Chain A
């Protein structure tokens, strides 16, 4: 859960008085709160932690990181089904950690 993942802002909208965005993380799309970097524009990259953008990131670093995460299976870990993972942990024969 400590991870922060870079993603690209696809669109922004105000929801209940809060700036929200749809963000693309190497193919996975998520709703993200932009309230802490409100001047981000569509097409820019941000570092996202538990649904909140906490900093901007340049495109090249973002793409490098995303490629790395993809290769290591970290994106699936971050956005996969947490409950299923916890359940697996309790049943899998070699005690798979997520």
Chain B
């Protein structure tokens, strides 16, 4: 157990691992939904500490990875316009569009800025009234309240030169899509803790019942993940399929009510294409009618976009848990974090990047 000494509390980790081993009598396939969890699992070798019969399938929970290519290409088109200040989280800069990325738009003279929070972008807009300031609003339910509040503030303060390029995605419809797929091997889910900090847990019991899958709300620190896996395996072994909260210190059943109210005001549900996966009905948010004036897509008329994905990249299969990253022929060869062919190689929450950073030496040995 080579990684055990890296845990904050190796004794607790050892006990949890022993209990998982003791509870497991057959093969199980678990999917962790959140990219932060994927990163943590690979970084700490959690999958290697589990019984061989417990497989972790890495889910589509990296927002950077699933943001559709059309959205990236729209961002690139807007960012390249004169007079525009394009603001984004840093992770999006290296995400490959059809022909280039935001970083190269910046090198070519585009005003692309990295911000920590969408509120920073709003501030830039107020400081630069003669420029159009656009924020790239991507992410899951965890990030959406920040973007919602920013648009709400822009309207309240009358900041007309601010707009949001929105491409939000939602976890529960993705879980349903994974379970509906004919190639689905997933028998249980570790749900994303911080998504549930915002949304609560009410959306999950119907999914657990319908698909007969245990769903355990799990944090993303190593001990949290072990506890989530333990509870999931116990449910599977006992033939139960319930929603459990293994992350109560950050997740309340009712979620964050003021945030959910704001989300309901600013956004409305829409169909969304997930990069590498395809269209999932009612799986995203866009600005509601009331806030449509702040929609960058309409303000800049960038709807006519033709996209081209790399022909080598198998990130769709990676995102659906059908292959592990190193089985892609391009992994570590044509495709590295320095020169990513697919979005899963960009963000540290992407499965390909996590394998590349923390596993590639042993994977080369094993090949």
Interface residues of chain A, those whose CB is within 8 Å of chain B, are 1-4, 16-18, 30-31, 33, 35-38, 47, 49-52, 54-55, 57-58, 61, 64-65, 67-68, 71-72, 77, 79, 81-83, 85-87, 89-92, 95-98
Do the beta carbons of A50 and B89 come within 8 Å of each other? Answer: yes
Q: Mark B22-57, 1 if CB is under 8 A from A, else 0.
A: 000000000000111000000100000000000000
From the candidates B143, B194, B259, name the one contacting A47 in the complex (CB within 8 A).
B194
B256 at the interface (CB under 8 A from A): yes
**In the complex, are the beta carbons of B116 and A90 less than 8 A apart?**
no
Sampled A-B contacts (25; CB under 8 Å): A1-B63, A1-B347, A2-B34, A2-B61, A2-B63, A2-B142, A2-B349, A16-B157, A33-B149, A35-B149, A36-B258, A49-B142, A50-B117, A50-B118, A54-B142, A54-B194, A67-B8, A71-B8, A83-B93, A83-B113, A95-B336, A95-B338, A95-B339, A98-B90, A98-B348
- List the B residue with the shortest CB-CB distance to A61: B249
Interface centre among A16, A54, A64 (most CB of B within 10 A): A54
Contact status A1-B338, CB under 8 Å: no
Q: Chain B's nearest CB lies how many Å from the CB of A76?
A: 13
Knowing A30-B116, A54-B259, A86-B114, the reply to whether A97 touches B353 (Cβ < 8 A) is yes
Q: Which residue, of A68, A79, A98, has the highest number of chain B Cβ atoms within 10 A?
A: A98
Would you call A2 and B8 a contact (CB within 8 A)?
A: no
What are the nearest 4 A-B pairs in CB distance?
Answer: A82-B90, A51-B117, A95-B338, A82-B114
Inter-subunit contact B249/A57 (CB<8 Å) = yes
Contacts A36-B262, A83-B90, A89-B337; is A68 near B221 (CB within 8 Å)? yes
Chain A residues with CB under 8 Å of B140's CB are 2
Q: Are B338 and A89 in contact (CB under 8 A)?
A: yes
Count contacts between A and B, CB distance < 8 Å.
137
> Does B357 sit within 8 A of A, measured CB to CB?
yes
| SS of A interface (majority) | mixed
In the assembled complex, the CB of B328 is this many whole angstroms from the nearest CB of chain A, namely: 16
Closest to A30 in B: B116
Query: Is B250 an interface residue, CB under 8 A from the partner?
Result: yes
**Complex Cα gap A68–B89 (Å):** 24
Q: How large is the interface on B (under 10, 10 to 19, 20 to 34, 35 or more residues)?
A: 35 or more
Chain B 100-118, CB within 8 Å of chain A: the 1/0 string? 0001000000000111111
B252 and A55 contacting across the interface, CB-CB below 8 Å: yes
Name which residue of chain A comes closest to B92, CB basis: A1
- Report which of A58, A65, A72, A89 forms a contact with B94, defined as CB distance below 8 A: A89
Q: List residues of chain B with CB within 8 A of the CB of A36.
A: 145, 149, 256, 258-259, 262
Question: Does B91 have its Cβ within 8 Å of any Cβ on chain A?
Answer: yes
Shortest B113–chain A CB gap in Å is: 8
B197 within 8 A of A: yes
| B237 at interface by CB-CB < 8 Å | no
| A residues in contact with B322, CB < 8 Å | none
Which residues of the partner chain A approach B236 to less than 8 Å between Cβ atoms? Answer: none
